[in-house]
Structure 1
Amino acid sequence: MTRYTQALGGTSHSFDGLVELMAKATPHRSGDELAGCAAHSDAERAAAQWALAEVPLDRFLHELVVPYEDDEVTRLIIDSHDRNAFRQVSHLTVGGLRDWLLEVSSTDDAAATLAAVSPGLTPEMVAAVSKIMRNQDLIAVARAVVVTAGFRTTVGLPGRLSTRLQPNHPTDDPRGIAAATLDGLLLGCGDAVLGINPATDSPHATSELLHLLDEIRQRFAIPTQSCVLSHVTTTMGLIEQGVPVDLVFQSIAGTEGANSGFGVTVSLLREANEAGRSLRRGTVGDNVMYLETGQGSALSAGAHLGVGGVPVDQQTLETRAYAVARDLEPLLVNTVVGFIGPEYLYDGKQIIRAGLEDHFCGKLLGLPMGVDVCYTNHAEADQDDMDTLLTLLGAAGAAFVIAVPGADDVMLGYQSLSFHDVLYARRALGLRPAPEFEAWLAGLGMVDAQGRVLPVDATDSPLRALTGAR
């Protein structure tokens, strides 16, 4: 184990190994304090960031954060590492990588250059560089990265901001779900997915909801995809029964132990991916996985310890989850950034920073990255903080965000974005829906030539029959 030291202000700071150095270099957040791995002062954090900037990138291939022999996520990271792609930056330190990323991001061929190097970057390298970057650095680099994926719509294209329309209902009532879906569609949302968190994970309830969404989609020829966010094994069983499954959902994390808590392994997720693709329901692509992550998930499962039993910071573990996601070539990945609660991200400042980190890290690792811009009611955050994060993510080129009626999810009991918030972001930042979805909206006379949603009277809309859904 390498011992890192850094003098700062006449004081010498020492860090035992890469795990401790990474944790102490992380911007302040409550989850790392809960885990006992946070820096004790701003001075110690600054010293750790200074020392981290001097770490050669190739050290991350040899000094592992979580032991190779104990963790299948680590094995996936190391075994799938593309050394040819890594050659372009292999001579750099973490600080050098930051400078290189910022320089490349200002060039005309930034997207191609960053895509070429992405397979050579490990999650730990990307997490490390994010820790020494300002918010504007995270935005500038993420905006330069282009990652697209497709099923019936294409997400991730430059100048586009897609949305998951989340019509959750406390009792999975079909009329309530249909009303929320109508609300979102009339406001131009739903091009990433029509996605329901079911009140129960039973196969019967999931099947009923999948049939409902598929009926709505087909009745109105909506170019989008549907998903009921049940456990992956539930969805796999329904695929075998011939239920109309578009996307296969699963929550994932950055350690084998945390994924075990979710009831999944890498091999199971690969099997689910193949099962979803076997249906061949996509029209513009075959990316079928929808994956959710969140800082603090490994800690909440007690599966956050690294080499020597030392706690790994939650942001590094979050970024490791993106290695699992990258292996599955998903259509959608999003961090539910403020959903787990203030124990992990205490206030609006921490949520905003974490959202920008997650988006940057996921995108740089090659994912069509979105964010659930959200917070729980007992966090020190409010909708103004969400406005700020939404605006920053729009500027950073996020693939999609999640929207619910009135920004208040009455089933999950947390605050997210409203459909109107998406209208604001698209108009203020000059962003448009996915092209296939925009063409459908245009055909209904619901958008103008710039892709901006026009006022629609629901009583006169071709979609009005939605409220009569079974």
Structure 2
Amino acid sequence: MITSQTVNGHTYRFDSLVDLLARATPLRSGDELAGCAAGSEEERAAAQWALADVELRTFLTEDVVPYDTDEVTRLILDTHDTEAFAEVSHLTVGGFRDWLLETAARPDAHIVLSRIAAGLTPEMVAAVSKIMRNQDLIAVARACRVVTRFRTTIGLPGRMATRLQPNHPTDDLQGIAASILDGLLLGCGDAVIGINPAGDSPQVTADLVSMVDQVRRAYEIPLQSCVLAHVTTTIGLIEAGAPVDLVFQSIGGSEATNASFGVNLALLREGREAGLSLGRGTVGDNVMYFETGQGSSLSAGAHLGTGGRPVDQQTLEARAYGVAREFKPLLLNTVVGFIGPEYLYDGKQIIRAGLEDHFCGKLLGVPMGVDVCYTNHAEADFDDMDTLLTLLGAAGVNFVITVPGADDVMLGYQSLSYHDALYIRNVLGLRCAPEFEAWLVAQGMAEESGRISGAELGKSGLRELVGGLR
């Protein structure tokens, strides 16, 4: 596809769909690094104008990443639901934006948007996001509803779950247990207790899995846990009889990106089947947990598409959600500012990327969460994260990540604190997952309204829980 657009007497030419998508993307440092960003705001506006006139059908016939050499493209196109697509198949990208905003205002919006999700490709969704304002992304994402279940139910309206992330620089069990207790007292952990291990030892991973399961069973807490080891490590633990709840893996939007993580679609299927074989869920069987992030393909040198042209990082990110959708995960979150300013330079870019990612994931039918975060060398601060958290809360985010004091001492980046979750729940009237909330109320840690009161964990306290893990 070759197209052009004239703005202020200057004609801009776009030689391919890949080129058009990249130059229509709101400014971000990663695309500048890749050499595919628009050269000026005028060129960006011209590209967005031209993109708005592209028919949605075009994305079914023109590959962003070649079909013959990329299994992610084959997955996206081979599983495309033509019946679900029929409702919007006549639209252009611009027409689709208008349709989404009109639909989002309807009382049955979540039903309509769920009905078309399987008919949308990641490239369609990425394209429409590029011509939407932040308020558009929020309005449509809020109208989407993606509900998943394992021991808790995630994604119900009026609720926002949290991942409790008790990372420790030496994987010390008592230190991790103390962080878990701290988070539970503040009502965090209903999405998952998710630990990033400091090392890659299968034995350490097994010890962490067993410790969290011990805590869960001892206090009869309705939650799920996950140690974020490589999928092959988790499969090995399942085969060895470890009490694994969720199977984790970082994924990307191209076959080459996934290869950089040491995975492919077949291995992800094997991981899901291994998780399902344990039957550990009580209210559902969504057993997968994925993480993504804009810039992962570029950082792996796996960002080239059709014709050897660089694909913009946001389109590749949306394609990762197409991978996730295939495996019916309980959770997926973009770690939006984690890779660094080389990919998202400042608070403005991080905020925009977080809203784009959330919108694209929800519209594709993926249970979307966000790690609201930044690295210490980015041009961002906690005010930016407060803004993004509040916007995501308004947009109906399924879950966010919380760490002690908002500072992950193992991974060395800034995220949200347990108290930040209290803030957004109180300000917007959001509640925990219903099963977890009932447990908090029974423990005297929450009021019947769902408001967290911060009482002690039953009659146990810190000494019993942490001391029992010596």
For the aligned pair, the TM-score class normalised by the smaller chain equals: over 0.9
Tell me if the contact between 1:73 and 1:254 (Cα under 8 Å) persists in the aligned partners: yes
* Structure 1 residues without counterparts, runs of 5 or longer: none
Q: Match for 2:3: what amino acid?
A: Y
TM-superposed CA distance for 1:343, in Å, is 0.3
Distance 1:198 1:92 in 2: 46
Tell me if the contact between 1:220 and 1:463 (Cα under 8 Å) persists in the aligned partners: no
State the partner residue of 2:19: 20
State the partner residue of 2:426: 427
- For residues 118-144 of structure 1, give each alpha carbon's deviation from its aligned partner in whole angstroms, at most 9, with x where no partner exists: 100000000000000000000000000
TM-superposed CA distance for 1:455, in Å, is 3.4
SS across alignment from 2:3: strand
Distance 2:7 2:330 in 1: 45
State the partner residue of 1:307: 306
Distance 1:273 1:462 in 2: 36
- For residues 359-403 of structure 1, give each alpha carbon's deviation from its aligned partner in whole angstroms, at most 9, with x where no partner exists: 000000001100000000000000000000000000000000000
- For residues 5-49 of structure 1, give each alpha carbon's deviation from its aligned partner in whole angstroms, at most 9, with x where no partner exists: 001111111100100000000000000000000000000000000
Distance 1:259 1:284 in 2: 31
- Pairing 1:191–2:195 present: no
* Structure 2 residues without counterparts, runs of 5 or longer: none
State the partner residue of 1:45: 44
* Identity across the alignment (%): 72
State the partner residue of 1:87: 86
TM-superposed CA distance for 1:202, in Å, is 1.3
State the partner residue of 1:381: 380
Distance 2:456 2:109 in 1: 43
Distance 1:281 1:457 in 2: 28
TM-superposed CA distance for 1:271, in Å, is 1.0
State the partner residue of 1:180: 179
Distance 1:8 1:467 in 2: 65
TM-superposed CA distance for 1:462, in Å, is 5.5
Q: 1:457 to 1:243 in 2, by over 3 A?
A: closer
Q: Match for 1:19: what amino acid?
A: V
Q: Match for 1:46: what amino acid?
A: A
Q: Where does 1:5-404 land on structure 2 (aligned, <5 Å)?
A: 5-404=4-403
Distance 1:263 1:457 in 2: 43
Tell me if the contact between 1:36 and 1:311 (Cα under 8 Å) persists in the aligned partners: yes
Tell me if the contact between 1:293 and 1:335 (Cα under 8 Å) persists in the aligned partners: yes
Distance 1:129 1:462 in 2: 50
Runs of 4+ in structure 1 deviating by more than 4 angstroms, as ranges, are 457-464
TM-score of the superposed pair, with normalisation by structure 2: 0.99
Distance 2:433 2:96 in 1: 32
Aligned residues: 469
TM-superposed CA distance for 1:466, in Å, is 1.8
Tell me if the contact between 2:445 and 2:457 (Cα under 8 Å) persists in the aligned partners: no
TM-superposed CA distance for 1:170, in Å, is 0.2
Distance 1:84 1:463 in 2: 55
Q: Match for 2:333: what amino acid?
A: N
- For residues 335-380 of structure 1, give each alpha carbon's deviation from its aligned partner in whole angstroms, at most 9, with x where no partner exists: 0000000000000000000000000000000011000000000000
Q: Match for 1:153: what amino acid?
A: T
- For residues 393-436 of structure 1, give each alpha carbon's deviation from its aligned partner in whole angstroms, at most 9, with x where no partner exists: 00000000000000000000000000000000000001000000
Distance 1:465 1:107 in 2: 51
TM-superposed CA distance for 1:273, in Å, is 0.3
Distance 1:445 1:332 in 2: 28
TM-score of the superposed pair, with normalisation by structure 1: 0.99
Q: Match for 2:258: what amino acid?
A: N
SS across alignment from 2:284: coil
Distance 2:365 2:283 in 1: 19
Distance 1:142 1:416 in 2: 22
Q: Match for 2:168: what amino acid?
A: H
State the partner residue of 2:435: 436
Q: Match for 2:408: what amino acid?
A: D
Tell me if the contact between 1:292 and 1:336 (Cα under 8 Å) persists in the aligned partners: yes
Tell me if the contact between 2:191 and 2:223 (Cα under 8 Å) persists in the aligned partners: yes
TM-superposed CA distance for 1:283, in Å, is 0.3
Distance 1:229 1:289 in 2: 11
TM-superposed CA distance for 1:244, in Å, is 0.4
Tell me if the contact between 2:318 and 2:357 (Cα under 8 Å) persists in the aligned partners: yes
Distance 1:462 1:376 in 2: 34
Tell me if the contact between 1:182 and 1:464 (Cα under 8 Å) persists in the aligned partners: no
Distance 2:149 2:379 in 1: 37
Tell me if the contact between 1:444 and 1:462 (Cα under 8 Å) persists in the aligned partners: no
Distance 1:58 1:462 in 2: 59
SS across alignment from 2:325: helix
